[in-house]
Structure 1
Amino acid sequence: MEIFATFDDSVFLEARDKVSVTLCPYDAKLCEPEKALDAYSSCQEWIADNNLTIRRDVLEGMARCCTKLGQRDRALDFADLLSKDVSNTCHLTSLLLLKVSIFQHFGAVGSKMSALQQLCSLLPFNPWHWYNLGQMCLQLLESGRTTERCESSEEQNDGGTEEQQREAAELNDSRIWLKACVCFIRTRLLLRILRQQQSSFVLQRTESTLQMTDEVLQRLSPKETTVQALTEVVSEDLIPEKMREDCQDGDSLASVCVQSFRERWWNKILLTGVLETDGLQTRTQC
């Protein structure tokens, strides 16, 4: 057992004269959006062409500054520049989260929903993206601002893709209600699977979110047959082996096949017929 001969006995002794060091709290430097934008702009010219990581950080910072300053077009322009450097799912996830924050700030409902749906399609086993999409649908229902937001001139001029415009055209109560049900049912299924491997504060967060999800579904009050039909559709891919195989986070985009939300989920859900049998009822309790 010569390997133990290399250890000094003092390693295993309790330190007697150890001096305690008080660490100063770290406070991140905060700047006004305008000053921060100027600082980011001055950094750009010093970034090496091959330093894509710093370039991405700076562009994202500039996009967020422009969002705070109310400069929507500039913020989206920086997001478009970021999209040119996307090479893996981590990059794409960060870009979509950035777009969600931009669209939320400017009240672009259709575009925000489209970005959230892309996140759910890109990372279908992440319960938090499903939960956020469900929360957005719930807020639209509670505010009563679904169709009217879709018809606003701001929404019409989003400049989104054909898929985004089609999704915006579907912002009516019955379809938003159905999407909310789908999202919270999917969230509940995923969290129940994940909590088997969790502990401590992570498990507490999961349990708390599960409780809120159950409460929301009670408020949405879908029929039991509707819950069963939707559960069957959204649980088809929840097989442990498949979930491990499809966990592509960080891989190159060439190895990831991202179907649109409509193709992967919505068309199947509409085929169940639950929209006609349950979703057309008035949901005044939401």
Structure 2
Amino acid sequence: MEIFGSTFDDSVFEESRAKPTVVALSSYNAKFCEAEWFWESIDTEDILEKQKIFKFRADMAYRRKNFQEALNAYTTCLSYIPDGNLTIRRDIMEGMARCCCHLGKRVEALEITETLKNEASNTCHLTGLLHLTANVHERFGDLRSQVTCLQQLCSLHPYHQWHWMKLAQSYLHLLQSLSSPSGSSPLQRGDDSQTEEQLKEERDGVWLKACMCFVRARLVLRALKGQQSSFVLQNSERALQKADEALRCLEPKDTTLQLVSEVMSEDVIPERMREDNQDGESLAGLSLKDFEDRWWNRLVQTGVLKKDGPKLPSVKPN
């Protein structure tokens, strides 16, 4: 019987006499740039280099709050970006929209967000776009349009506590606006009893939606507290306090809170929260109907508005 390995040829263990070919490496000299080098005159025809220069100029001008200068640089930078480079193109256009907001150019800002909407292709794109659009509407005081964007964010990320908190606070601001003598309601006050009835119905609905969103935010915050620590946990505890204060301000009855909590907690399950993943969703698939069907309509079916009339908030939200 042969010993294992005794039949190997000795040549297998001999060092190769052929020396490996040595490839001479070209010398490398690192490029050193002076601070704010991108402000110097442009003496290159390289498109990519021009793109970088104007991007850096725009970002620096925005940081310095020179928004018109930043917008000009972003616009020039956009002209050098190939149509296929969607990532950089999206980044530049978002910067342009923010500049337009600061410059009071609402129409231009919304035109940019509409273009980005048509190019959005995944959840990450949609999330950034909805945040941006909500900020544009907030900047110009359009509470209803801001609420619409935040509803879509909550539909896209149903377990994101900060989206629910922001939506709840927006509803609270809207309720205060509808309840003030100079409120921004599209319904005109007057002798028309039907108009007054519509206004009351709208206030009632906004009141209940504010309660609903604060309850939802509170439920999600409590569900996530066990996984948090340090400053993240502190932020959650502060948010819980704000939610509790807001609900005390809105003054729903105990029966109302119980009904709202039952509806809003049905899907707040740790396993489902961990598995939730909606990558690949399209903006076309997100609408007010998703939000209404998933939460609002089911809450209305409980008859909660008939059981508990709304209370107008006595303090302003933080």
TM class by smaller structure: 0.7 to 0.9
**C-alpha contact (below 8 Å) 2:175/2:206 kept by paired residues:** yes
Letter in 2 for 1:213: A
Match of 1:149 in 2: 184
Match of 2:239 in 1: 209
Is residue 174 of structure 1 aligned with residue 204 of structure 2? Answer: yes
Distance change (3 Å), C-alpha of 1:189 and 1:232: same
Higher relative contact order (CA 8 A, sep 6+): 1
TM superposition outliers: structure 1 runs of 4+ over 6 Å: none
Match of 2:141 in 1: 107
Match of 2:99 in 1: 65
How many aligned residue pairs are there?
244
TM superposition shift of 1:50: 2.0
Match of 2:257 in 1: 227
Distance change (3 Å), C-alpha of 1:150 and 1:34: same
Deviations 1:242-280 (A, max 9, x none): 2222233xx2226x96462112111111111111211x3
**C-alpha contact (below 8 Å) 1:147/1:173 kept by paired residues:** no
Q: Residue 144 of structure 2 aligns to a residue in which SS?
A: helix
CA RMSD after TM alignment: 2.7
CA distance in 2: counterparts of 1:257 and 1:149, whole angstroms: 30
CA distance in 2: counterparts of 1:88 and 1:147, whole angstroms: 41
Is residue 276 of structure 1 aligned with residue 312 of structure 2? Answer: no
CA distance in 1: counterparts of 2:68 and 2:235, whole angstroms: 36
Match of 1:13 in 2: none
- Gap regions ≥5 residues in structure 2: 1-58, 189-198
Please tell me whether Structure 1 or Structure 2 has the larger radius of gyration of its CA atoms. 2
Residue from 94, 118, 127 that aligns with 1:84? 118
TM-score by length of 2: 0.70
Q: Residue 158 of structure 2 aligns to a residue in which SS?
A: coil
Is residue 30 of structure 1 aligned with residue 64 of structure 2? Answer: yes
Deviations 1:228-255 (A, max 9, x none): 100110111112222222233xx2226x
Distance change (3 Å), C-alpha of 1:171 and 1:205: farther
**C-alpha contact (below 8 Å) 2:207/2:310 kept by paired residues:** no
**C-alpha contact (below 8 Å) 1:60/1:98 kept by paired residues:** yes
Letter in 2 for 1:123: H
- Gap regions ≥5 residues in structure 1: 1-26, 154-168
Residue from 139, 145, 163 that aligns with 1:129? 163
Letter in 1 for 2:74: Y
TM-score by length of 1: 0.78
CA distance in 2: counterparts of 1:202 and 1:56, whole angstroms: 30
**C-alpha contact (below 8 Å) 2:252/2:310 kept by paired residues:** no
TM superposition shift of 1:145: 4.7
What's the % identity of the aligned pairs? 48
Residue from 61, 75, 97 that aligns with 2:131? 97
CA distance in 2: counterparts of 1:183 and 1:130, whole angstroms: 6
CA distance in 2: counterparts of 1:275 and 1:283, whole angstroms: 14
Distance change (3 Å), C-alpha of 1:222 and 1:146: farther
**C-alpha contact (below 8 Å) 1:174/1:275 kept by paired residues:** yes
Distance change (3 Å), C-alpha of 1:242 and 1:55: same
TM superposition shift of 1:111: 0.8
Letter in 1 for 2:83: D
Letter in 1 for 2:72: D
